[in-house]
Amino acid sequence: MRLRRSALAAALVLVALLVQATVLARLPLPGAAPDLVLVVVVGFALAGGPLPGTVTGFAAGLLADLGADHELGRTALVLTLVGYLAGLLADDGARSRLLPLLVVGGAAAGAVTLYAAEGILLGDRRITGEAYAAAMTGTVPYCVLLTPLVVPAVGALVRRLDLDPLRR
Amino acid sequence: MRGPRLLLVLLLLTAFTLTVLDVRFGGRSPFDALRDGASRVLGPVERVVGGAVSGLGDVLGGDSAEQERLRAENARLTAELRRSDDLERRVAELDRLLGLREVADHPRVPARVVAAGSSFGFASTVTLDAGSRDGIREGQSVVTGEGLVGRTLRVGPTTCTVLLVTDPGFTVGARLTRQGTVGLATGTGRGLRYELVEGGRVEVGDALLTTGSDTFVPGLPVGRVTSVESGATSLVTTAVVEPAARLSSLDLVAVVVEPPRSAPRAPLAPAPAPAS
């Protein structure tokens, strides 16, 4: 059971990373791009609980870091926390329609803020008030828009593999 | 509940340690091998998927044939207008042409954009389907027919990452074509900010060209000034610049694979003595 769930998480994260890089980040959208990896981590955490959420968040973040132009571990830190906190809400979030939207919105806002805070500590030139405002008004709503497409699908996949998704 | 919390603390510490180590080692990070491995594995997949998606992108976000035709016509009419404009403008135009010819002298590798990076909306990078096997090295100019796109950042065997001119980490020395004043253009996320330290004059519509450096070929169009913010108290004049290359629908680009060791030039021949 555990192995199959890990395999599913790995496959979902890899597909999310690829779609993120080749499609979503390239869309000529005003402002920023949606972050599919974050939405998938939240979806997996809401369906599986804090333990799978934490591990999936860390792995997804580390893989994203390897391909990104910043210090290793920055996205991993952010998504580990996102996976854990979203996982804590798994009991309430399993069947609600509104909660995933709120969780993804909160997670995206928190992720942008934490990433920016890391950048300030590390002296990242990319973190400016203007860039922060653009990320908050761009990334957060786009992630929320992705939620109804992604989170129920991830939840359904987890439930199909695991008859008792909330068991820890 | 103790299990997840312990794991959380452990993984957060691991991520933090990785960041600190990466910063401490700077340019020669031991994680570069990991990054290299990731680009070796992910690069070819991105090439295939991104190449297939590019066709789709033309349909979804690209320009229609009508827009393309209008743009070509607009360019032709603008060129005609310039031809009939005053001498100053013609000198500037010649300057630009000269600059572009300098670019044409350099060997370039054509490449397609296959992926992009965003880092929660803070970074502006793209991945190209050409790498070190095609002669691309770190820190080379990337251009389109319209102008400067960015510079190569990390190069894998078959793919490379490009820092776009709009990225806040991007800075290039640039000269105003009409005034000849030199300043620095830095990315702001959406466009560029051009700062003139001498307190020179900038006008809306002025064009910017690269001054040329170890990385950048001189004379590449950087962009056009869209607004000027000159504070009454500040000594620095700041202009907002729109990039010359259309970065939102980037597809085909060229990497200038041999940076100039010095600006190419020919000796000025003395004027022939008038026949008596």
B14 burial level (CB within 10 Å; 0-12, 13-18, 19+): middle
- Backbone angles phi and psi of B154, in degrees to 5: -125, 135
Which residue segments constitute the domains of chain B, with CATH numbers given?
A: 171-245 (2.40.10.350)
Which residue segments constitute the domains of chain A, with CATH numbers given?
A: 2-161 (1.10.1760.20)
Res. A28: pLDDT tops 80: no
A51, two tokens: 């333990």
pLDDT for residue B241 = 93
B202, two tokens: 């900038």
B52, two tokens: 């297939």
> Nearest Cβ partner of A71 from B11, B22, B154?
B22
The answer to whether the CB atoms of A131 and B118 lie below 8 A apart is no
- For residues A98-126, one letter each, b for 16 or more C-beta atoms within 10 angstroms of the residue's C-beta and e for the rest, the string is eebbebbbbbbbbbbebbbebbeeeebeb
Beta bridge partners of B194: B185, B239
Q: Mean of the per-residue pLDDT values for chain A?
A: 87
Distance (Å, whole) CA A129 – CA A106: 20
Q: Assess B118–A contact: CB distance below 8 Å, yes or no.
A: yes
Q: Is the pTM above the cut of 0.90?
A: no
The answer to whether the CB atoms of A73 and B29 lie below 8 A apart is no
Taking one residue from A and the other from B, the number of pairs with CB-CB distance under 8 angstroms is 175
A43, two tokens: 């979806």
Residues 28-57 of A with CB under 8 A from B: 28, 31-33, 35, 49-51, 54-55
Tell me the per-residue pLDDT of B80-117, one tens digit each, with 9 for 90 and over.
Answer: 665 555 556 556 545 554 455 555 667 788 888 888 88
List of chain B residues with pLDDT < 50: 93, 97-98
pLDDT for residue A165 = 46
Res. A100: pLDDT tops 70: yes
Res. A32: pLDDT tops 70: yes
| CA B99, B101, B105, B108 torsion-angle sign | positive
pLDDT for residue B265 = 59
The answer to whether the CB atoms of A134 and B61 lie below 8 A apart is no
| Whether the predicted interface score ipTM is above 0.90 | no
Tell me the per-residue pLDDT of A38-67, one tens digit each, with 9 for 90 and over.
Answer: 999 999 999 989 999 999 999 999 999 988
Helix axes A50-67 and B32-60, enclosed angle (nearest 10): 90
pLDDT for residue B93 = 47
pLDDT for residue B253 = 85
B137, two tokens: 């090295």
| Closest to B186 (Cα-Cα) out of B195, B177, B199 | B195
**C-alpha dist (Å) from residue B164 to A3, A108, B127, B152, B255:** 41, 24, 10, 9, 13
pLDDT for residue A24 = 87
